[in-house]
Amino acid sequence: MHRYVLPALLSLSTAYAQTPAKPDPAVQKIHQRILTLDTHADAPINMQKPGFDVGVAHDTKRDNSQIDFPRMKQGGMDAMFFAVYTSQGPRTPEGHAEAKRNALNQFDLIHQALKKYPNLAELATTPADAYRIQKAGKRAVFIGMENGYPVGSDLAMLKTYYDLGCRYMTLTHFANNLIGDSSTDPDGPIYGGLSDFGKQVVPEMNRLGMLIDVSHVADSTFYDALALSKAPVIASHSNCRALCDFPRNMTDDMIRAIAKKGGVVQVNFVSDYLKKPSDAFRAAKTKVRMARVGKVMTPELEARLQAESDSLAKVFAPERASLSDIADHIDHIVKLVGIDHVGIGSDFDGGGGVNGLEDVSQIENLTAELVRRKYSEADIAKIWGGNLLRVLGQAKVK
């Protein structure tokens, strides 16, 4: 998820979900007309599991899976960025070699799935691709990379990943890497922002046309990247710190800075980035999450962390966020910087999921909530994909 903490830890059990009323026909028509795009989907986490087939419909609760091509179609999800994610391991030649191997394998799994199901989905790398594939009635699959760890110290790897379809890269994840400081490294910062190598990474991403993603980075890294980038930047899956005080979220000043540069903040569906959990819940989740940092994951360690996550999910289920909390964060960004700088990055399969929005088949419920809050169809189209595609079209800088 993320890895983040394992899906069960943040998405919690669907047994506790409340099913909202079915959207009315007017909502359904709006949802069908607009292009819906999600900038952060962790489908490759499940795609790496033996026997998992993204072209077959799965049960959210039974399979602990929130994304597959049939459910994307069922929910009216036109496009998703599948995130090639690597957890932060040792900053050593061996660690970087393993991260590169892992990342390249995930790219291959995505390409294999698209080759296997050409009538269901297709690779997208440009805004025009998204609209063309939507018109053909298929799902558009973009690729992003979460954590610059697989770049190692080799700047040329950026072009390798770009050529495989990568169109954004999250500079860091839950711990510092060779590019810069993370917002959540338990040992604190080591560079005070971007590293010297990171200051080469940002302009190279601009040159290639790969969006700089500032989700997960330390505030100092954020401002360094923003100042150095000649293109707009994105936060592919981040919420508002003013509504939920957590270092992974964006302060109002950061949101204003992204907007001033022409970028966009993509609101995510992770419960404890939407509403502040109790200190006990946050501490327990942090302990499980950080148990992964710097470790080579084994099946035994994965199983132990999953069991701990499942236990926490049951104990703290009443603290879970709702569909309304997602809309509150969207509202906050719109009031702060306007309708042109907000979007959606669900984090499904990586910790995303709230009461009323359990998997990709239910995304129409968010459209219904936006309609209820008096957003126009044009505004909803911007939130659901238009804003991000505009920024993607501005990613390449000469």
What integer is the mean pLDDT of 79-98? 97
Q: What is the pLDDT of residue 6?
A: 39
pLDDT value of residue 165: 98
The CATH number of residue 308's host domain is 3.20.20.140
Mean of the per-residue pLDDT values of the chain: 91
User: What's the pLDDT score for residue 302?
Assistant: 73
Lowest mean pLDDT among 60-64, 72-76, 232-236, 355-359: 60-64
Q: Taking residues 352-379, report their average pLDDT.
A: 97
pLDDT at 7 (0 to 100): 40
The yes-or-no verdict on residue 2 having pLDDT over 90 is: no
Structural domain contains residue 119: yes
pLDDT of amino acid 18: 44
pLDDT tens digits for 60-70? 988 889 999 99
What pLDDT does residue 208 have?
Answer: 98
Residue 317 has pLDDT above 90, yes or no: no
pLDDT confidence band for 315 (50 / 70 / 90):
low
Per-residue pLDDT at 295: 64
Q: Average pLDDT of 312-332?
A: 85
Whether residue 397 is contained in a domain is answered as: no
Of the candidates 270, 279, 387, 396, the residue with the CA atom closest to the CA atom of residue 333: 387
Q: For residue 319, what pLDDT band results from cuts at 50, 70 and 90? A: confident
Say what the pLDDT of residue 178 is: 98
pLDDT exceeds cutoff 50 at 3: no
In a domain, 313, yes or no: yes
- Provide the residue range defining the domain that includes 84: 7-392
pLDDT of residue 13: 39
Residue 285 maps to a domain: yes
What's residue 22's pLDDT? 63
In a domain, 1, yes or no: no
398, part of any domain: no
Q: How confident is the model at residue 152 (pLDDT cuts 50, 70, 90)?
A: very high
pLDDT (0 to 100) of residue 71:
98
Does residue 286 belong to any structural domain of this protein? yes
- Whether residue 287 has pLDDT greater than 90: no
Q: What is the pLDDT of residue 303?
A: 73
Handedness of CA 221, 226, 230, 235 (dihedral sign): positive
Specify the higher pLDDT residue, 31 or 298.
31
Whole-structure pTM value = 0.88
2 in any annotated domain? no
- Total domains in the chain come to 1
- Confidence (pLDDT) at 11: 39
